[in-house]
Structure 1
């Protein structure tokens, strides 16, 4: 019996030893890097600051007036010449607020205002037209009597007396009146260009009499004259 028990404990021909499997590797220990943690905190803080700055930049705006098209000096500002826009608040700029819209319409441009330009207190004038000591004379001119160039308020011109039809050319220098353009318009009936000019009060009656004859021509001079 003893011998049989010992033989039973011996592995038989069809028995195999149990598979122990691959050795288990312990998980790596994570190393804490304080420098990376600090960098992550700094980046997060910077992101928050940049976000706050961007929010401030987009929300700190004001509504102001700007020109929808080019407005030349001397022109009367119409309702569709200006509009309300929003811009970032900039202390270096001093545009008129949108609340001044009704006050600006009807005033004259004191200087040339480019399309998209901001309207400032220096852009317009409420001074009466014509000013004291001046008169405005309207002259109707055919295409042959006026330069084929656009004229705007403030342009310097001379209105020359020309000889009548079949008349002799003047022997000396022709008479003329120096003037300043206020504005121009096209007469839809005749197709003539009507030029309103500003002249001294004493010259207004003489210029009007000459213009009534039709024997005049307009010369556009340099602004530096």
Structure 2
């Protein structure tokens, strides 16, 4: 009996290629798998934003809770005792406050204009409740008198509000006349000074405004009308 050999795919080695080759003879296509689409984690993003916002608010709260800096009134220029306070004399600053200081809030600045300085306030110093007064000048029982004095008849230092002075009469004496009479004098307190003018060309006078008891005002006015007076500075104690 004759047995015919049958060519199996395993024996020929061509079966696999023949099995995968398209019948129409075209080149087989290779499919690239599509990668999975990334998910947007909106919840995580929102949580990060919330953490940053809470951190910023926490810093603001911590700063506010650990500082006592406040806006208060300070002197822009030196304010002399007894002088009227002007707007340009004042400014506001932010400082760390000591509870022992009786400072004035920055919002009270406008209310201080027109009041008088109860103390000398140096430029850059804080203005306290003790620095100002609403006392009217002159008070009851006192009067203001203006005195025109030549420079040579005043102390060599600038007079300021609060200075205690004496107005001394210096009557003109005849040549060769001697007298043991004590010159008349009246004590006063300087309220302010102002440079005046002299129409005769003899030189500018300084107008010194002083406060005296009302009972002495008439005598002082008559004394100064002669222009024969000298101002003596007695004390600058405040």
TM score, norm. by length of structure 1: 0.71
Q: Which moved more, 1:58-67 or 1:200-209?
A: 58-67
What does residue 208 of structure 2 align with?
A: 195
Segments of 5+ residues of structure 2 without an aligned counterpart are 1-58
Work out the CA distance in 2 between the residues paired with 1:138 and 1:169: 31
The Cα of 1:103 is off from its aligned counterpart by 1.0
154, 160, 163: which one aligns with 1:146: 154
3-state SS, counterpart of residue 152 of structure 1: coil
Q: How does 1:1-225 map to 2 (within 5 A)?
A: 55-56=63-64, 59-164=67-172, 166=174, 168=177, 170-188=179-197, 191-223=204-236
Instruction: Note if contact 1:96-1:120 (Cα within 8 Å) is conserved in structure 2.
Output: yes
Question: Structure 1 residues 169, 206: closer, same or farther in 2, change over 3 A?
Answer: farther
Contact 1:57–1:88 under 8 Å retained in 2: no
Q: 2 CA distance for matches of 1:188 and 1:83? A: 34
More displaced 10-residue stretch of structure 1: 184-193 or 174-183: 184-193
Secondary structure at the counterpart of residue 160 of structure 2:
coil
Find the counterpart in structure 1 of residue 52 from structure 2: none
d(CA) in 1 for partners of 2:178 and 2:222? 20
* Superposition CA RMSD, Å: 2.5
| CA deviation string 1:76-125 (max 9, x = no partner) | 11111111111123322221011111111111100111111111111011
Aligned partners of 1:82 and 1:181: how far apart in 2?
23
State how far apart, in whole Å, the 2-side matches of 1:169 and 1:61 are: 69
Q: Which has more radius of gyration?
A: 2
Structure 1 position 191, deviation (Å): 2.0
Q: Give me the whole-angstrom Cα distance separating, in 1, the residues matched to 2:94 and 2:69.
A: 6
Q: Deviations over 1:111-159 (max 9, x none)?
A: 1111111111110111111011000100010011111201111111000
Alpha carbons 1:163, 1:169 under 8 Å: kept: no
Aligned 8 A contact 1:77 1:108 in 2: yes
Shift of 1:60: 3.4
